[in-house]
Amino acid sequence: MSTVEELKLRVRELENELIKCKQKTDPETPAHVRTKIEEMSAEVVDSNPYSRLMALKRMGIVKSYEKIRSFTVAVVGVGGVGSVTAEMLTRCGIGKLLLFDYDKVELANMNRLFFQPHQAGLSKVEAAEHTLRCINPDVVFETHNYNITTMDNFTHFMDRISNGGLEEGKPVDLLLSCVDNFEARMAINTACNELGQVWMESGVSENAVSGHIQLINPGETACFACAPPLVVATNIDEKTLKKDGVCAASLPTTMGVVAGILVQNVLKYLLGFGTVSYYLGYNAMEDFFPSMTMKANAQCSDMHCRRQQEEHKVATEHPKQEVVKEEEEVVHEDNEWGIEVVDEVTEDELQAASGPKPDLPEGIIPIYTIPPEKSPEDMVEETEQSLEELMAQMKKINLLA
């Protein structure tokens, strides 16, 4: 019954409606959409997305905020912590982001920030890239939809960490671990020890009420093979964590706080302001935030960690050689704020861990004990016996992201 004219009108109506709809989601649609900005400006106008960041210079906090554009950060794990971490870095105007994840967005993820219901079914890296590009098209994105712990992917992962910088062939400036399992953490640890790559670890407990961040500079601070990862104790019933076949709890609050303190530490490290934290815990039940530093272990089972320690020693003993960047930062062991962390870990508790005996402040506990014989750099060898043993250990672990 439709005439050609009626149909043509309908086509025009639909085209107009589609343009309006696309303007809401697609960064390429002209009106109301953020276009690329060649140079960061401090001009105070409503249309400048960088005015409030460049104001950090006038406020005396950061010397050169524009430097943010020269840095590349790799985010491994784009879940509850990783996605918010990537969003914060994108909004801060980071130069380049590499995103690694192999998971899909599910409605079950909607209790955390960032992903939205209409993205259910998409790969997390694909969905994240789309949203992040809309938010800030000045950032360069590189995404990898794979599991870094399989042999082939691990090789590719190592290659991208070494060569995926803003200028191809240069390494990334920092790697952030926002993964939810032990195996992925150990793969990152192995890669960073081998490459001498500075990285930061993050984690949130299975009961959703504690989390932490940790800076690892290979050769200087303890790696995951030097000492088990640490968590903030929450004094909850251990039995509730040990049940099989139940999902972990998570909260947007705890994950938002962990992402916030992680990216704050990244900004302080890259832009050189404030005190970079080596370990910062968050216990939501008590609003308790312990901090500490742990030196690398000379008897570490990871040969690359031991090599990095030798190199670090040479670099600090011969200061005309390049000194590792964060040596400039003040470690707040002598803290002026009067926060006192008391070592009350018993000898028995320390005996239970086969790694070094760190001076753990009250409320911080090792997450597992390291198997004495096996070397964790074997972790990425898929068929090694040690992997299965460590997989058994994994079940005891209550960290996720």
From CA 195, how far away is CA 175, in angstroms rounded?
Answer: 11
Token readout for 346 is 């018993």
Range in contact with its own copies (rule: CB under 8 A) among 71-79, 146-154, 275-283, 345-353: 275-283
91 touches its own copies by CB under 8 A: yes
Provide the pairing of β-strand 210-216 with 279-283. antiparallel
Sequence-ordered list of residues with C-beta below 8 angstroms from that of 11, at least 6 positions apart, any chain? none
Query: Rounded CA gap, 71 and 154, in Å?
Result: 23
Q: How many angstroms separate the CA atoms of 64 and 57, rounded?
A: 7
From the list 166-174, 277-285, 305-313, 388-396, the region that binds its own copies by CB under 8 A is 277-285
331 near its own copies, judged by CB under 8 A: no
Annotated catalytic residue: which of 178, 247, 300, 305? 247
Specify the stretch interacting with its own copies by CB under 8 A; choose among 71-79, 153-161, 234-242, 378-386. Answer: 234-242
Closer residue to its own copies (CB): 249 or 315: 249
The distance in angstroms from the start CA to the end CA of the chain is: 57
247 catalytic per annotation = yes
Which of 246, 314, 352, 391 forms a contact with its own copies (CB under 8 A)?
246
CA distances from 55 to 45, 49, 65, 263, 271 (A): 12, 12, 9, 18, 14
Q: Encoding tokens for residue 357?
A: 């005996």
Binders of its own copies in range 287-316 (CB under 8 A)? 287-291
Give the bridge partners for 104, in sequence order. Answer: 123
Give the one residue of 63, 64, 106, 359 binding its own copies; rule: CB under 8 A: 106
Among 200, 154, 193, 194, CA closest to 175: 200
For the segment 182-211, give every residue that binds its own copies (CB under 8 A). Answer: 206-209
Q: What is the CA radius of gyration of the chain?
A: 23
Q: Taking contact as CB under 8 A, which single stretch among the options 27-35, 163-171, 182-190, 320-328 is the one that binds its own copies? A: 27-35
145, 147, 153, 264: residue in contact with its own copies (rule CB under 8 A): 264
Q: Residue type for 116, please?
A: Q
Nearest to its own copies of 15, 388 (CB atom): 15
Asked if 360 touches its own copies (CB under 8 A), the answer is no
Asked if 64 touches its own copies (CB under 8 A), the answer is no
Among 45, 169, 317, 319, which residue interacts with its own copies (rule: CB under 8 A)? 45
Residues between 109 and 128 with contacts to its own copies, criterion CB under 8 A: 110-113, 116-118, 120-121
* CB neighbour list of residue 104: distance below 8 Å, 6 or more residues apart: 120, 121, 122, 123, 124
Q: Which is nearer to its own copies, 10 or 396 (CB)?
A: 10
Q: How far is the CB of 166 from its own copies (least distance, A)?
A: 20
Q: How far is the CB of 377 from its own copies (least distance, A)?
A: 31
Q: Is 365 exposed, middle or buried (0-12, 13-18, 19+ CB in 10 A)?
A: middle
At position 104, the amino acid (one-letter code) is K
Which residues are known catalytic residues?
247
